[in-house]
Amino acid sequence: MSDKALRLIEEKAVNKSGRLIIPFFLCREIARECGMPAREVEALALVNGICPSRYERNIGTFGMEGQARLLRSRAAVLGCGGLGGWIIELLARAGVGEIVMADGDVFDENNLNRQHMCWEENIGMSKAEAAEYMVRLVNGAVTAIPRAEYIDEKNAFDMLNGCNVAIDALDNNKSRSIALNTCQKLGIPFVHGAIGGFFCEAGVFYRDDQPFWEAEDVPDRGIETCTGNPPFTPAFVASVQTAEAVKILAGLKGQIKGTLLWFDLQHLDFQKIKLPVRH
């Protein structure tokens, strides 16, 4: 079927400013005709030098190969609230082919100030189900895999196995430890993010990196229990996390390693902190 799909792609591609482009809706038609996932048709076009129209503005940054790699990758987003809602939409727009979206919570009125997928009309709706709906609206070629459950020791392996990266949009350190330990056993990069008031942090943990939250004097939840979270802080650090995840998945340069990024958005302060290594 891939031979037939490629022939159809080549027939329908048009030259636009020196680049071969195929409208994304034609990729969907070819996928249906050939019985293939839409993301595979888009990736097939890319590796053969033809860009699906929806990714035109990505290619200058990701490259054709990088975009194809995104379409053939799987990311897990752990938490679909303040951070997770933004991350999930950004991944879908970037063209990450499969997104696992895990959250056992439903939307509450106090989520309206900052959670991207929370509207007045969907209070009480499952966050994971809302994420699946949003992905379908944004990029129908992406496979959305909702899991309306919190990550724990019983489901962590099943949730993360087969993923190329896991992204931390959690709100407590106990869950982070479970997720990170599972990622380190599986050899999956863990893209961390946390927010509280004007403060936020982000970093990528690999197999031997030790997080600061494992120290005995670190509480399960941070300063957000006092400061809350305004609308802009989750959007900011979610963008940083998504950039790191995309660099990992697309094989791009400049990935963070061994470093935690810390931001103070009130005073526009920024620091890089070296991560300790497990012994």
Instruction: Report, as residue numbers or ranges, the catalytic residues.
Output: 226
Provide the pairing of β-strand 14-16 with 259-264: unpaired
Cα dihedral: 244, 175, 216, 234 (round 10): 50
Give the whole-angstrom CA distance, residue 186 versus residue 174: 19
Q: How many CA atoms lie within 13 A of 242 on its CB side?
A: 21
Give the whole-angstrom CA distance, residue 58 versus residue 101: 23
The answer to whether 234 touches 195, Cβ cutoff 8 Å, is: yes
From residue 48, alpha-carbon distances to 2, 39, 43, 182 in Å are: 12, 14, 9, 36
* DSSP string computed for 225-264: HHH---SHHHHHHHHHHHHHHHHHHHT-S----SEEEEEE
Helix (H) or strand (E) holding 271: strand 269-274
* DSSP string computed for 93-122: HHT-SEEEEE---B--GGGTTT-TT--GGG
